[in-house]
Amino acid sequence: MVSITGGSYPPALDNDLERERLALAIKDWSIANGLAVRPPPAVVGHDPRGILAVNAPVTLFPSPFPRSCFEEAKSIQTAYNELYARISQDEEFLEGLVQEVAGGDEFIANLWDVHLRVKGEGYVQPLNLGLFRSDYMVHQDGEALQIKQVEFNTIASSFGGLSAQTSKLHQYLAQTEYPLLQAAGPYASGLDLPANHSAKGLATGLAAAFAAYGPSALSHPTCVLFLVQDGERNVFDQRHLEYELQSAHGIPVFRLPFSEILSRTSIAPGLPARQLLYSLPSNPSRVFEAAVVYLRAGYGPGDYPAASAWEARYQIERSGAIACPSILTQLAGMKKVQQVLATPEPSGGVPAALRRFVAGDDGAKAYGLLRTFTNIFPMDATPAGQAARKMATDPEGCKKYVMKPQREGGGNNFYRTAIPAHLQSIPEAHWGSFILMELITPPPLENVILRNGELEQGGVICELGVYGTCLWDQKTKAIVHNEESGYLLRTKGDQSEEGGVAAGYGCMDSCSLV
């Protein structure tokens, strides 16, 4: 168990009245401040008008997080932003990796086909926007603690809105509730809770793209479109970003279900700039020109149930709107990219793929990125892939690894002894569409989670995500905007493999730096 100054973590809540008081304070504050989600499907049938909201799962206390690891993750984010912008600009590099995994991954193949269709007629919008999130866990090797990257998200990087609210919740509790606990310890004198402006930072990135797009040549008002999933439960997380865009930047924002793209948008006919026009459903004569399209949907096969959904994605990609992300940027987030970047050279030193994108630097940036990589292996037919296949299929050796497909959204990975069983269930020709990652060993922690009105106490694992916003020009290669944009801390029970909050595995948390 990690200790913090003046006592152990977390403070004991042996008094039932204290537990109830603290839980009630969190429930009320969360609903009053939008730290909430829509109820699960089982409840929706009893809420036909969509008026219900429930608390997002959250920890009662901020989790201790090593200050050095937190600061390193924040400081390296702009380098990661630039790295992935450069990757998205390198079509040849991405094409080679797509060809390696597409045989066993129809979704990746379909994304690439959309890109090729647009490339055939010519892209009209050179600007690309990335709202990124780099996820880490703290790896404990003896007494040494070091951040190791879990994954890099290039599409629908969620919880920027709820993360900012979670930080505010724990700051509020530190001022009002923690000092009243019988075993308050250091909670009575204050915690080192870093400021977190993730909603503001992400909105600033969207606003930068909106400004770069400029005024409409057709004299239409311009707007930002949020592409969302039908029945989205995590709506309030998205709304915080919308409200920030509207209140701080005066930008019109509209939510558009992914399934309604073709019915509610159109390409301006006969114009080379292919402006994307959006008609209000309540007043079709009121037309806006979409300057930025922010995808909070479209990241997995479930968003494309029919050919029409792929036509909708094609319409967005070929339009003059700035896509967040473009197809190439989404493909840059493949786990295969992460694996190739981390594959060491036989002679040691910076991996060749990483040198490809940070060449010309003095090496400090490359080594800074390299420090955060963990051991990742291909599952292809190369010698390294054959060695990984042997580890993955070994009943004992597989217990050190997680196997990942090229997917976002949580719930897609295979851990430890589940790896051999899954490999046996699919053709061996498809194994190359996965990567094998060595499991990260975090330090032991405990916390209390409030989920569905119930308190769960025990061992936990924390995952830090750092947001970044980046705007760049695909043609000139110029980086127009590049900022670190706040953080997310997700926590799960130490017996849980996955950590996605929206997928039902983890909960919201914030950092107490130690």
CATH number of the CATH domain containing 406: 3.30.1490.50
Asked if the bond preceding 420 is cis, omega within 30° of 0, the reply is: no
Residue 14: its pLDDT value, please? 79
409 pLDDT exceeds 70?
no
Q: Is 159 left (phi over 0), alpha (psi -120 to 50) or beta?
A: left
Question: pLDDT value at position 189?
Answer: 65
Q: What pLDDT is attached to residue 5? A: 38
What percent of the chain is modeled with pLDDT above 90?
A: 81
In this predicted structure, the answer to whether residue 504 has a pLDDT above a threshold of 60 is: no
Note the pLDDT of residue 372.
97
Q: What is the mean pLDDT of residues 496-510?
A: 69
CB proximity list for 177: less than 8 A, separation 6 or greater: 21, 22, 25
Question: Where residue 46 falls among pLDDT bands split at 50, 70, 90?
Answer: confident
- Catalytic, 484? Answer no
How distant, in Å, are the alpha carbons of 12, 28, 69, 340, 508 from that of 463? Answer: 24, 26, 12, 23, 10
CA distance 433 to 264: 35
Q: Spot the catalytic one: 242, 244, 317, 408.
A: 408
Residue 2 pLDDT grade (very low, low, confident, very high; cuts 50, 70, 90): very low
- 241 and 175 share one domain: yes
pLDDT band at 40 (very low <50, low <70, confident <90, very high): confident
Domain finish residue from 419, 439, 459: 439
Mean pLDDT throughout 25-47?
Answer: 89
Q: Annotation-wise, does 187 bind a ligand?
A: no
Tens-digit pLDDT profile for residues 455-481 = 999 999 999 999 999 999 999 999 999
Give me the pLDDT at residue 348, please: 76
Cβ(513)–Cβ(65) below 8 Å: yes
Alpha helices in 45-197 (DSSP H): 67-75, 77-89, 91-101, 106-121, 160-176
* Domain match, 395 and 471 both: no
Last residue of a domain, one of 390, 411, 439: 439
Q: Where are the alpha helices (DSSP H) in 214-360?
A: 235-249, 261-264, 307-318, 327-332, 335-342, 352-358
Question: What pLDDT, on the 0 to 100 scale, is given for residue 6?
Answer: 42
**117 is an active site residue:** no
Q: Is 501 annotated as a binding residue?
A: yes
Lowest mean pLDDT among 256-260, 289-293, 344-348, 490-494: 344-348
How many structural domains does the chain have? 2
Q: Is the pLDDT of residue 1 over 50?
A: no
Token pair listed for 267: 């390409």
How much is the pLDDT for 188?
59
Q: Do 93 and 233 fall into the same domain? A: yes
Same domain for 239 and 380? Answer: no
Is position 335 annotated in a ligand binding site? Answer: yes
In this structure, are residues 129 and 325 in contact, taking their beta carbons and an 8 Å threshold? yes
413 has pLDDT over 70: yes
Q: Among 95-99, 145-149, 231-235, 404-408, where is mean pLDDT lowest?
A: 404-408
163 in a labelled binding site: no
Active site residue 409: yes
Is position 497 annotated as part of the catalytic site?
A: no
**Pair of tokens at residue 457:** 């106490």
pTM: 0.94
**Do 286 and 301 fall into the same domain?**
yes
Answer yes or no: do 468 and 496 share one domain: yes
Pair (282, 336) in one structural domain: yes
> Which is more confidently placed, 4 or 207?
207
Closest CA to 154 of 174, 170, 131, 135: 131
pLDDT range class, residue 168, cuts 50, 70, 90: very high
Q: Are residues 244 and 386 in the same domain?
A: no
Decide if 49 is catalytic: no
Ramachandran class of 220: left when φ > 0, alpha when ψ lies in -120 to 50, beta otherwise: beta
| Catalytically annotated residue among 38, 318, 335, 336 | 335
Return mean pLDDT, the chain. Answer: 92
For residue 187, is pLDDT > 70?
Answer: no
The reply to whether 71 and 135 lie within a common domain is: yes
Q: Is 510 annotated as a binding residue?
A: no
Q: Are residues 47 and 117 in the same domain?
A: yes
Whether residue 81 is found in the same domain as residue 37:
yes
Is 344 found in the same domain as 417? no
> Does residue 160 contact residue 241 with C-beta atoms inside 8 Å?
yes
143 assigned ligand-binding residue: no
What is the model's pLDDT at position 3?
A: 44
Segment 66-82 mean pLDDT: 98
E strand or H helix that includes residue 386: helix 383-393
Distance of CA 247 to the CA centre of its chain: 24
**312: pLDDT confidence band, cut at 50, 70 and 90?**
very high
Note if 255 is an active site residue: no
Domain with 424, as residue range(s), is 376-439
Write down how long the chain is. Answer: 514
Please say if 15 is a catalytic residue.
no
Do 236 and 36 contact (CB within 8 A), yes or no? Answer: yes
User: Which pLDDT belongs to residue 496?
Assistant: 67
Active site residue 153: yes
Choose the final residue of a domain: 385, 415, 439: 439
